[in-house]
Amino acid sequence: MEALYAITTGILTASGVYLTLRGRTFPVVVGLTLLSYAVNLFLFSMGGLTTHGAALVGTNENYADPLPQALVLTAIVIGFAMTAFAIILAMRARGDLGSDSVDGSRTDREDPRENKA
């Protein structure tokens, strides 16, 4: 099970990294989100993989490690804030520069519908 878990984390990471290397803002933000999922899974597993062991005192004998859980919990929320900030920054950049290229260059307007507007 551990091997499968590690491979899954690795593939999610790889997909996220690939997307963050793209040249347009939206895929980069999606990639960051995917990467943060992978990182959360990775950090979460630092306490080991426990079955039926929620860290509620008095419910069972073998507790899961609560510390990585607490850290990941806040990481999830902060990750959301980060994603939100990045995507809105991307929107702002598009609004101000007219392009959604990550390098901020004023290039082509890809959306054909925009010419009609």
Partner 1 sequence: MTLPWIPLLTFLGVFVPALAIRGGRTVCALATATAPAVALGLVLFFYLGHDGDEVMRTSLQWLPAMGLELAFRLDGLSLLFLLLILGIGLLIILYTRYYLSEQDSMSRFYAFLMLFMTAMVGIVTSDNLLLLWGFWELTSISSFLLISFWSHETTARKGARMAMTVTGAGGLALLAGIMLIGKVVGTYDMGTVLESHDLITASPLYPAIIVLVLLGAFTKSAQFPFHFWLPHAMAAPTPVSAYLHSATMVKAGIFLMLRLHPALSGTELWTVIVTLTGLVTMVYGAWFAFLKTDLKGILAFSTISHLGLITSLLGLGNSQAMIAALFHIINHALFKASLFMAAGIIDHEAGTRDVRKLGGLYRLMPITTVLTCIATVSMAGLPPLNGFISKEMFFTEALASQQFGGLAWIVPLLAGLGGLLSVAYSLRLAYATFFRRPRQEPPKTPHEPPWPMRFPVELLVALCIIVGLVPTLPQSPILEDAVRATVSGEMPEFHLALWHGINPALLLSMAVIAGGIVLHLLHRHMMRFNRQFKPQDARYIFEGFVQRLVALCQRLIDRLENGSLQRYMFLLMAVSVLAMALGLADLDMLAGSLGQQALDPIVILGAALLIMGGVLTAALHRYRLISLLMLSVVGLVVALTFARFSAPDLALTQLSVEVVTMILLMLALFFLPQKTPKESSGARVVRDVLIATGFGGAVASLNFAVLTRDLNSISNFFIDQSVPGGGGHNVVNVILVDFRGFDTLGEITVLAIAGLAIFKLLNRLRLFMPATDMEGRLWSNDRHPTLLMVVSQTLLPLALLVSFFIFLRGHNQPGGGFIAGLITAVALILLYMSRGVEWAQQRLDFQFQPIAIAGVALSTFTGLCSWLFGYPFLTSTFDHFHLPLIGDIELASALIFDGGIYLAVVGATLMILANLGKLTTAHRPNKDMP
Question: By CB under 8 A, what part of segment 95-114 binds partner 1?
Answer: 95, 100, 102-104, 108, 110-111, 113-114
Decide if 83 contacts 36 (C-beta within 8 A): yes
- CB crowding 86-109: b at 16 or more within 10 Å, else e: ebeebeebbeeeebbbbeeeeeee
CB of 1 to partner 1, least distance (A): 4
CB of 52 to partner 1, least distance (A): 6
- Partners of residue 101 on adjacent β-strands: 24
CB of 62 to partner 1, least distance (A): 9
Using CB under 8 A as the binding rule, the residues of this chain from 4 to 23 that contact partner 1 are 4-23
Q: Which of 61, 89, 97, 106 binds partner 1 (CB under 8 A)?
A: 89
- CB within 8 A of 15, min separation 6: which ones? 31, 34
Decide if 39 contacts 83 (C-beta within 8 A): no
Decide if 40 contacts 75 (C-beta within 8 A): yes
Using CB under 8 A as the binding rule, the residues of this chain from 27 to 86 that contact partner 1 are 27-31, 33-34, 37-38, 40-42, 44-58, 63-67, 69-70, 72-74, 76-85
CB of 58 to partner 1, least distance (A): 6
